[in-house]
């Protein structure tokens, strides 16, 4: 799916088909955020007064590119997880064994459809940690792009939260649900704190 043109992807997103949906959109937003962080680091590298930070800026480029590819892969991973769940609902119910197999497969499908957005949230937090340093080190001429990256990452993060929340009510494994809900609370607090710090730094430097 990540090899689609932007126009084709948007057409698919707007279609009546269930995939790509919000999870794929979250992957795109996360990838855009990391692309911007990488761009800010690349532009800043070699600029006068930034020599002392060259090694860290190079590391930012590498880490941002890695996360961008990770987000891009999630675009298809989310669709596969959703389609696996939909296929589980189509399994036969013509015997007790078939009913049990269908029920357990549906449960695995819901868990898989929850694990992808949880992974997206963790990747967003990684990206926001990089954005904090981008806000501190980035060249002023592209500093607004760091701010845009933070907003893109938070949009991806909040989208992923919604995709967790829509799935967990259907999951019967109480331990799995508790871990997912705890992760949402912890990651949300961390992500919001990181985003606030970065956006404040961007605003201060642009003032």
Q: Is residue 3 part of a domain?
A: no
Q: Is residue 72 part of a domain?
A: yes
Instruction: Indicate the number of domains in the chain.
Output: 1
Q: Is residue 2 part of a domain?
A: no
Q: Is residue 9 part of a domain?
A: no
Q: What's the CA angle centered on 71, arms 68 and 77, to 5 degrees?
A: 150
Q: What pLDDT was estimated at residue 25?
A: 94
CB of 157 closer than 8 Å to CB of 191? yes
Q: What pLDDT digit, counting tens, does each position of 29-43 carry? A: 999 999 999 999 999
DSSP string, the chain: -TTS-HHHHHHHHHSSSSSS-HHHHHHHHHHHHHHHHHHHHHHHTT-TT-GGGHHHHHHHHHHHHHHHHHHHHHHHHHHHHHHHHHHHHTS--SSHHHHHHHHHHHHHHHHHHHHHHHHHHHHHHHHHHHHHHHHHHS-GGGHHHHHHHHHHHHHHHHHHHHHHHHHGGG---HHHHHHHHHHHHHHHHHHHHHHHHHHHHHHHHH-
Q: In the chain, what percentage of residues exceed pLDDT 70?
A: 99
- Cβ neighbour number for residue 92 with a 10 Å cutoff: 10
Q: Is residue 15 part of a domain?
A: no
Instruction: Give the phi and the psi of residue 90 in degrees, each rounded to 5.
Output: -90, -5
Average pLDDT score over residue span 103-109: 96
Q: Is residue 186 part of a domain?
A: yes
Q: Tell me the range of 13-22, 72-81, 180-189 where mean pLDDT is highest.
A: 180-189
* pLDDT score of 168 more than 90: yes
Range of the structural domain that residue 84 is part of: 21-46+53-206
Mean of per-residue pLDDT scores for the chain: 94
Q: Is residue 117 part of a domain?
A: yes
Q: Please give the C-alpha separations between residue 56 and each of 45, 116, 133, in angstroms, as whole numbers.
A: 10, 30, 9
**CATH number assigned to the domain comprising residue 191:** 1.20.120.680
Q: Is residue 126 part of a domain?
A: yes
pLDDT band, very low/low/confident/very high, at 2 (cuts 50, 70, 90): low
Q: What pLDDT digit, counting tens, does each position of 115-165 carry? A: 999 999 999 999 999 999 999 999 999 999 999 999 999 999 999 999 999
- Cβ neighbour number for residue 156 with a 10 Å cutoff: 30
């Amino acid at each position: 799916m990540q090899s689609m043109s932007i126009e084709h992807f948007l057409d698919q997103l707007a279609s009546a088909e269930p995939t790509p949906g919000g999870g794929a959109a979250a992957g795109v937003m996360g990838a855009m955020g990391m692309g911007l962080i990488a761009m800010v680091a690349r532009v800043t590298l070699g600029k006068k007064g930034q020599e002392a930070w060259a090694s860290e800026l190079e590391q930012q480029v590498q880490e941002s590119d890695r996360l961008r590819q990770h987000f891009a892969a999630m675009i298809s991973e989310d669709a596969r997880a959703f389609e696996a769940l939909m296929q589980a609902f189509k399994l036969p119910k013509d015997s007790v064994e078939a009913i049990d197999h269908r029920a357990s497969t549906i449960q695995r499908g819901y868990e898989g459809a929850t694990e992808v957005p949880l992974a997206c949230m963790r990747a967003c937090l990684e990206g926001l940690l990089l954005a904090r340093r981008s806000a501190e080190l980035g060249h002023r001429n592209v500093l607004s792009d760091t701010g845009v990256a933070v907003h893109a990452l938070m949009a991806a993060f909040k989208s992923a939260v919604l995709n967790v929340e829509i799935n967990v009510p259907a999951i019967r494994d109480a331990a799995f649900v508790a871990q997912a809900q705890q992760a949402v609370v912890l990651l949300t607090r961390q992500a919001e704190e990181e985003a606030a710090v970065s956006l404040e730094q961007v605003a201060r430097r642009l003032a």
